[in-house]
Structure 1
Amino acid sequence: MTRVKLCGTTDEDDLEAAVAAGADAVGLISAVPVDTHRELAPARAAELAAAAPPFVTTVLVTMPETPAAAIELVETVGPDAVQLHGTLEPDAVATVREDVDATVVVALEAGETDATTAGRYGDVADGLLVDTPADGGGGGTGETHDWELTRELTAALDSPIVLAGGLAPENVADAVRTVEPFAVDVASGIEDADGATDADAARTFVERARNALAPIPGS
């Protein structure tokens, strides 16, 4: 069954909507050098991480310049996992993984990362996220990419692959059937016009992602 992360949680209402939708994980964005309404101050991210109920994984999403910066932020926020975007090399990621009490996921740019490079990150991280690249880095473009390329990457690696980039209730089932990822990640695809989590969209997204690979009755 495909797992689901709802990213861009900014307040208690977003968190409640994600939990009610059945999300496996929620994303808390902090310390990123790009302009986004989803960014939280580290102290606020820590509050929301502490407010999440048991069995819902809290994921700190960040773009650190150094391993030390990542480690310090993880210690401040206290998430269950940290999702690293940016330009840290595999040895730097290994340092983070050794020094934090959190699962480490590395974000890779779809279409820009070959299997060899991805494998080097997979050797030092607990999982890999494949996202549509943004001009300023960090993903979050709301645009899809070539899912067939990501499917090839998924097949070539042993690491759990999280699919991101332009996913929404309307296309997530097709994405899951094409890529067969370990998990999917969504932000803009479940937001309302004000940038808050739309409870109905979140619930539909989770349901369709989970059921995409279920056997068809009578088949």
Structure 2
Amino acid sequence: MTRVKICGVTTRGDLETVADAGADAVGIICDVTVDTPREVSLERARDLIEAAPPFVTTVLVTMATDPERTIELVETATPDAIQLHGEVDRDAIDSLRAATGVTILLAADAEDLADADRYDDLVDGLVVDSTDEDGAGGTGETHDWERTRTAATHLESPVILAGGLEPDNVADAIRAAEPFAVDVSSGVEAEEGRKDPDAVHSFVARAGRATTVEPEVSPSP
């Protein structure tokens, strides 16, 4: 079954909504260089991560601008995983893993998945997203899901599909791209930075019902 991550959670109420809906992971955005209503302070990120119930994976989402700062974020907020956006080199990833042992997810540009090859052996998952010129996701734009599936066939790392997903298209996206997981933020919001409980529940339910297996066709008599 395709896993589900709900990203951009900013309040405990939204955290409870995500958990009640049955999502597998929650994303909390902190210390990014782009202007977004979904960013929270490091203190709030730590509080939300501590409040997450068991069996919901906590993911701290940040821009990899300073390796030492990234290590500080992980050590302070103590997430289960960290999701890195922007330019990041192999040495920085090695240093982060050696210092923290945290699960590492790396955002990859859906338009340039060939670049992901350089990191495939270093990370635990690749978040394939539509990105802007700063390398940030959260654009709310979809990309070619079938092309993503084809381009990712040679990758060893699990693929987390992001970019423009919402309840109405998540099943189609899963069938087309066959990802390990799907990741949504703005597609389940009532307003910027606040989740819509009905949309969150619908997204998780529809992702759960989607299948990557084509139905069998009975032979003609």
After TM superposition, the score normalised by the length of structure 1 is 0.94
CA distance in 2, matches of 1:152, 1:186: 22
Q: Distance in 2 between matches of 1:173 and 1:200?
A: 17
Aligned residues of 1:94 and 1:125 also touching (Cα < 8 A): no
Alpha-carbon deviations, 1:97-147, whole Å to 9, x = none?
222132100111111231xx3122111111111100113331100010111
> Which residue pairs with 2:138 in the alignment?
140
Equivalent residues of 1:34, 1:138 under 8 A apart: yes
Name the Cα RMSD after superposition: 1.6
Match of 1:75 in 2: 75
Q: Could you tell me how far apart the structure 2 residues matched to 1:215 and 1:88 are?
A: 36
* Residue of structure 2 equivalent to 1:110: 110
Deviations 1:50-75 (A, max 9, x none): 00000000000000212211111111
Query: Any stretches of 5+ residues in structure 2 without a counterpart?
Result: none
SS in 2 for 1:124: coil
Say which of 173, 179, 191 aligns to 1:193.
191
Structure 1 CA distance, aligned partners of 2:195 and 2:64? 26
1:91 equivalent in structure 2: 91
The structure-2 alpha-carbon separation of the partners of 1:218 and 1:154, relative to structure 1 and needing over 3 Å to count, comes to closer
Partner of 2:118: 120
Structure 1's 217 and 181: CA in aligned 2 closer, same or farther, altered over 3 A?
closer
- What does residue 176 of structure 1 align with? 174
* 1:64–1:86 Cα contact (<8 Å) kept: yes
Cα distance in 2 for partners of 1:126, 1:190 equals 26
Tell me which amino acid in the other structure corresponds to 2:148: T
Aligned-pair identity in percent equals: 54
Corresponding residue for 2:41? 41
The answer to which of 180-189 and 134-143 deviates more is: 134-143
How far is 1:216 from its partner? Answer: 8.3
Partner of residue 202, structure 1: 200
Distance 1:179 1:77 in 2: 32
The answer on 1:16 being equivalent to 2:16 is yes
The runs of at least 4 consecutive aligned structure 1 residues that moved more than 6 Å come to 214-219
Q: Say which one has the larger Rg.
A: 2
The SS at the match of 1:155 is coil
* Whole-angstrom distance in 2 between the partners of 1:144 and 1:95: 33
The alignment of Structure 1 onto Structure 2 pairs a total of residues equal to: 217
Offset of 1:218 from its aligned partner?
8.8
Aligned 8 A contact 1:81 1:105 in 2: yes
What does residue 165 of structure 1 align with?
163
Describe the superposition over 1:5-34 as per-residue Cα deviations: whole angstroms up to 9, x where unpaired.
000010101101100111100000000000
C-alpha distance after superposition, 1:146-205 (max 9, x if no partner): 112211122111110000000000100010001100000000000003531111111111
Q: Structure 1: 5+ residue runs without aligned partners?
A: none
Please give the alpha-carbon distance, in whole angstroms, between the structure 1 residues aligned to 2:57 and 2:80: 6
Deviates further, 118-127 or 159-168 = 118-127
Amino acid of the structure 1 residue aligned with 2:33: P
Pick one of 136, 151, 154 that aligns with 1:153: 151
